[in-house]
């Protein structure tokens, strides 16, 4: 009994869902750093007592629990992982200005790109076409911005490893085939060639490849979600 | 040879996000130049510095522009290591600060803005939302922010204090005057109320936040000229 408690105190728990790209971010970061953890699958239509206790404010995944102490919000969790386990590989760069740029684009992705994908899924017909155009424009801003802020390098990777920005951008974007099959095509090489190539590079990266939600299951789940809005 | 360090802050005085950056620079003792941007007339300079959001604040340090106030605050803390630290050392406490700063910035402020931008039923909904969120913050403060003896440590003003006081400092009084809504009730939100009162007493806050009358005039102007006409009037 005592040993189990002792183990639990070191324990890292991750609450997530199979389809949730955002909880995937946390797992990728932990794996990259070589930190052992236990994964807890949540059913969001029937949230567990533990989840509600650990994230009373948002009641959402992902939640990281370390030594019994919970942390919510994926970007906050990623920074925690980098600071609490400062071993290599580092998720964020060392230089404050580079860090500021990474944080800026991570926020941009979460505040503009991901909500844009929801807008597409929740609309239909002409509205959806407009939403797709708008999204493509938002991605163009991201492409130009990242090219300008990180000249001459692929900002989503740090050498052989995925970077903080790569982990962030892999959410939702890497599942685009399922989104396309369940709804409409919004990510295309024609409109966003840079983003297209970045996302496909991410999809090929082993840690991401093995964490991608099963395609058909995700397609069914997305179709069910979209039908709520028709 | 001392490194030349030129810091310029582009802000818009009614905007709380710029105020928190100013307070951070003052706390760190960093000399800076402040440039007032009139957001009703976006300048060319601003567009070139922050083409993504076209918004203030933007901090320019030795020619390098940084946007988004929370990103700027972390940059300030990491760059000027002398003087008070805006974030605690412990990673878990840092995570708590970031979590609540994001909550105040995104959730609370969003509801407050909704209140100003709407009327009637939509406004009532926004007020209810704001109240629910304040309850969550009050609960969160109990378990995280304060010492076991509930004392508020204004010796060590940090990132969360700056984010909070910049959003609520003038705005809650403004809401009372413009909307006749009492947001921060000492009975319903005792911790929030005492925290705010303690912060508003600090010299750096008093000298940075715009006077309430100026904020009231500004909000009234925005409501009349921009927000209310945008609503569909049946």
Cα angle B22, B37, B64; round to 5? 65
Q: Which of residues 138-197 of B touch A (CB under 8 A)?
A: 139-140
Find, among B111, B150, B142, B135, the residue nearest to B188 by Cα.
Answer: B135
Average pLDDT taken over every residue of chain A: 92
Residues paired with B65 in a beta bridge: B60
| Local confidence band at B49 (pLDDT 50, 70, 90 cut-offs) | low
Candidate from A40-44, B144-148, B171-175, B225-229 with smallest mean pLDDT: B144-148
CA distance B56 to chain A (A): 14
Q: What is the pTM of this model?
A: 0.92
CB A63 within 8 A of CB A12: no
| pLDDT of B145 strictly over 90 | no
Q: What is the pLDDT of residues B96-111, one digit of tens each?
A: 999 999 999 989 888 8
| pLDDT of A230 strictly over 80 | no
- Is the Cβ pair A100, B52 closer than 8 Å? no
Tokens of B26: 């003052």
Our CA dihedral for B132, B138, B139, B144, rounded to 10 degrees, sits at: 140
Which range among A160-169, B82-91, B151-160 has the greatest average pLDDT?
A: A160-169
- Residue range B44-53: average pLDDT? 63
Q: Using CB atoms, which residue from B67, B78, B139 is nearest to A104? A: B67
Rounded Cα–Cα distance for residues B142 and B152 (Å) = 11
Candidate from A35-39, B108-112, B171-175 with smallest mean pLDDT: B171-175
- Is the Cβ pair A99, B74 closer than 8 Å? yes
Return the pLDDT at B210.
85
The answer to whether B93 contacts chain A (CB < 8 Å) is no
Rounded Cα–Cα distance for residues A135 and A147 (Å) = 18
Residues in chain B closer than 8 A to A139 (CB atoms): none
Rounded Cα–Cα distance for residues B6 and B37 (Å) = 19
- The better pLDDT of the pair A192, B151 is held by A192
- Residue range B106-123: average pLDDT? 85
Q: For residue A71, what is the nearest residue in chain B, using CA coordinates?
A: B95
Q: What is the pLDDT of residues A99-134, one digit of tens each?
A: 999 999 999 999 999 999 999 999 999 999 999 999
If you count residue pairs, one on A and one on B, with CB atoms under 8 Å apart, how many are there?
64
Report the complex ipTM: 0.92
Q: Using CB atoms, which residue from A77, A84, A141 is nearest to B52? A: A141
Rounded Cα–Cα distance for residues A2 and A19 (Å) = 36
Residues in chain A closer than 8 A to B70 (CB atoms): 103, 107
Q: For residue A140, what is the nearest residue in chain B, using CA coordinates?
A: B52
Return the pLDDT at A37.
96
Residues paired with A66 in a beta bridge: A12, A69
Which range among A207-221, B35-49, B206-220 has the greatest average pLDDT?
A: A207-221
- Residue range A54-76: average pLDDT? 94
Return the pLDDT at B46.
60
Q: What is the pLDDT of residues A164-188, one digit of tens each?
A: 999 999 999 999 999 999 999 999 9
- The contact set of A with B (CB < 8 A) is 56-57, 66, 69, 71-73, 75-77, 79-80, 83-84, 96-97, 99-101, 103-104, 107-108, 141, 145
Find, among B138, B130, B134, the residue nearest to B111 by Cα.
Answer: B130
């Amino acid at each position: 009994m005592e040993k189990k408690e002792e183990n639990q105190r070191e324990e890292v728990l991750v609450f997530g869902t199979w389809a949730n790209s955002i909880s995937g971010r946390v797992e990728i970061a932990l794996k990259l750093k070589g930190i052992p953890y236990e994964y807890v699958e949540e059913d969001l239509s029937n949230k567990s007592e533990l989840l509600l206790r650990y994230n009373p404010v948002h009641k959402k995944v992902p939640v990281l629990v370390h030594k019994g102490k919970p942390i919510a919000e994926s970007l906050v969790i990623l920074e925690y992982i980098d600071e609490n386990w400062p071993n290599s590989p580092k998720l964020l760069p060392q230089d404050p200005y580079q860090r500021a740029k990474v944080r800026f684009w991570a926020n941009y992705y979460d505040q503009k790109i991901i909500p844009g994908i929801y807008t597409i899924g929740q609309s239909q017909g002409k509205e959806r076409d407009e939403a797709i155009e708008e999204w493509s424009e938002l991605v163009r801003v991201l492409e130009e911005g990242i090219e300008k802020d990180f000249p001459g390098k692929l900002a989503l990777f740090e050498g052989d490893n995925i970077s903080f920005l790569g982990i962030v951008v892999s959410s939702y974007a890497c599942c685009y085939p399922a989104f396309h099959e369940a709804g409409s095509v919004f990510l295309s090489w024609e409109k966003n060639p840079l983003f297209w190539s970045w996302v496909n590079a991410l999809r090929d990266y082993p840690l991401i490849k093995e964490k991608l939600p099963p395609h058909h299951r995700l397609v069914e789940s997305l179709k069910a979600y979209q039908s709520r809005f028709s | 040879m001392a490194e030349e360090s030129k810091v310029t802050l582009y802000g818009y005085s009614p905007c709380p996000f710029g105020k928190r950056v100013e307070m951070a620079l003052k706390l760190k003792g960093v000399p800076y130049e402040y440039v007032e941007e009139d957001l009703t007339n976006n300048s060319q300079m601003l567009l070139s510095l922050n083409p993504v959001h076209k918004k203030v604040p933007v901090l320019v340090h030795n020619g390098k522009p940084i946007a988004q106030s929370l990103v700027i605050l972390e940059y300030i803390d990491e760059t000027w290591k002398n003087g008070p630290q805006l974030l605690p050392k412990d990673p878990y406490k840092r995570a708590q600060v970031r979590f609540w700063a994001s909550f105040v910035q995104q959730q609370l402020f969003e509801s407050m803005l909704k209140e100003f931008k709407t009327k009637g039923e939509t406004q009532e909904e926004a007020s209810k939302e704001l109240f629910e969120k304040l309850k969550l913050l009050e609960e969160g403060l109990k378990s995280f922010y304060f010492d076991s003896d509930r004392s508020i440590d204004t010796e060590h003003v940090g990132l969360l204090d700056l984010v909070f006081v910049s959003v609520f400092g003038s705005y809650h009084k403004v809401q009372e005057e413009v909307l006749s809504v009492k947001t921060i009730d000492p009975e319903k939100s005792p911790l929030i109320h005492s925290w705010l009162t303690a912060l508003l007493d600090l010299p750096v806050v008093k000298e940075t936040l715009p006077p309430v009358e100026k904020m009231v005039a500004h909000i009234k102007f925005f409501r009349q000229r921009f927000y209310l006409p945008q609503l569909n009037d049946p």
